[in-house]
Amino acid sequence: MVGQAGRLAGRFIAVTGAAQGIGQAIAAEFRAEGADLFLLDIDGPSLEHAAAELTHLPGGALLHAAADIADADRVAQVFADAALAQGRHLDGLVNNAGVNVFHPPLQTDAAEWQRAFAINLEGAWSCARAVLPGMIAAGHGVILNIASTHSFTIIPGTFPYPVVKHALLGLTKSLALEYAAQGVRVNAIAPGYVATQKVLDWWDTQPDPAAARAATLALHPQGRIAEACEIARAATFMISDECPFMTATCLTIDGGLSQRQHA
């Protein structure tokens, strides 16, 4: 993590799912680049810890709130509170919070289907809806949705996750075209496997964790998976003013995985 030239100085950016993994890495990268931050996560204690770690780094304002993004009323309230506390509207949002829901289709019950959509899609829309009016009024703003290679490829047994991630790309493109003329850009990043705690935990649930890890790495042309900081660096570029003509676009970061046919 190396801040280059205060590339996000003067920006007020929200990051959801900021207590761990990709969200935490993005928050750290953004702070190093000079952004004022508003961090959200459903896990209050972990969010407090993540925020405390960031205070040791030089940077701008740092606000945070525990919130379940599936609760639209709570989302609207915490975003309004953050704008009031900072005395300005947010001009950046990273919709990173999400949950893995993997089942064969006919083994997916109604509750799991609803959970997948409530968090991964409706939650992202609730956060976007909270920041869009301020962005439109200001004539500029950037929303970045963390999608997945599941947004355009299918792995059997992972239903309904790819359904909702496909829908997240639809939300990205729809909002991008609706508000392009108002100066708002909306894009997505599609990571593949990333070395987060969720992936490490998944390997540990397998009968042979070492073999599961080796099999995952072998799928990738580079023989490794991404580090969270690699996703964070791409997020910095996409939410900065360095790509002002990029909107309705999804950047894939998977080491070539989605281009390789495999059994």
Q: What is the CATH number of the domain that holds 232?
A: 3.40.50.720
Categorize the per-residue pLDDT at 189 as very low, low, confident or very high, splitting at 50, 70 and 90. very high
214's tokens: 């080796």
Q: Is residue 146 part of a domain?
A: yes
**Overall pTM surpassing 0.85 (yes/no):** yes
Tell me the average pLDDT across 229-252: 97
- The mean pLDDT value of the chain amounts to 94
The pLDDT value given to residue 260: 79
Q: Is the pLDDT of residue 90 over 50?
A: yes
Specify if 199 maps to a domain: no
Structure tokens at 106: 């006919």
Mean pLDDT of 163-175: 98
Residue 187 host element (H or E): strand 184-191
Provide the pLDDT for residue 248.
Answer: 98
Does the pLDDT of residue 3 top 70, yes or no? Answer: no
Question: Which of 79-83, 196-200, 207-211, 233-237 comes out lowest in average pLDDT?
Answer: 196-200
Q: 104 φ, ψ to 5°?
A: -65, 145
pLDDT at 5: 65
Q: Which of 12, 38, 159, 161 is catalytic?
A: 161
pLDDT at 256 over 80: yes
Average pLDDT over residues 163-181: 98
> 3-state SS string over the chain?
CCCCCCCCCCCEEEEECCCCHHHHHHHHHHHHCCCEEEEEECCHHHHHHHHHHHHCCCCCCEEEEECCCCCHHHHHHHHHHHHHHHCCCCCEEEECCCCCCEECHHHCCHHHHHHHHHHHHHHHHHHHHHHHHHHHHHCCEEEEEECCHHHCCCCCCCEEHHHHHHHHHHHHHHHHHHHHHHCEEEEEEEECCECCHHHHHHHHHCCCHHHHHHHHHHCCCCCCCECHHHHHHHHHHHHCCCCCCCCCCEEEECCCHHHCCCC
Q: Are 187 and 172 in contact (CB under 8 A)?
A: yes
Specify the number of domains making up the chain: 1
Q: Regarding predicted confidence, which is higher, 260 or 142?
A: 142
**36 touches 12 (CB < 8 A):** yes
Q: Which of 182, 70, 77 is nearest to 133 (CA)?
A: 182
* pLDDT of 120: 97
Range of the domain at 46: 12-194+227-254
Instruction: Point out which residues pair with 93 in neighbouring strands.
Output: 14, 143
* Residue type (1 letter), 102: F
Is residue 200 in some structural domain? no
Between 78 and 218, residue with greater pLDDT: 78
Q: What residues contact residue 175 under an 8 Å CB cut-off, 6+ apart?
A: 128, 132, 143, 184, 186
Does some domain include residue 261? no
Q: Does any domain span residue 148?
A: yes
In a domain, 162, yes or no: yes
The token duo for 172 is 């990205």
Q: Which tens digit of pLDDT belongs to each residue from 145-157?
A: 999 999 999 889 9
For this structure, is 161 an active site residue? yes
Any bridge partners for residue 250, and if so which?
Answer: 188
70, 94 contact by CB (below 8 A): no
Q: What is the pLDDT of residue 58?
A: 83
pLDDT of residue 243: 96
pLDDT at 262: 58
> pLDDT tens digits, residue range 28-77?
999 999 999 999 999 999 999 999 999 988 888 999 999 999 999 999 99
Tokens (6 digits) for 260: 């390789």
**Cα Rg, the chain, nearest whole Å:** 18
Has residue 245 been placed in a domain?
yes
- 231: in domain: yes
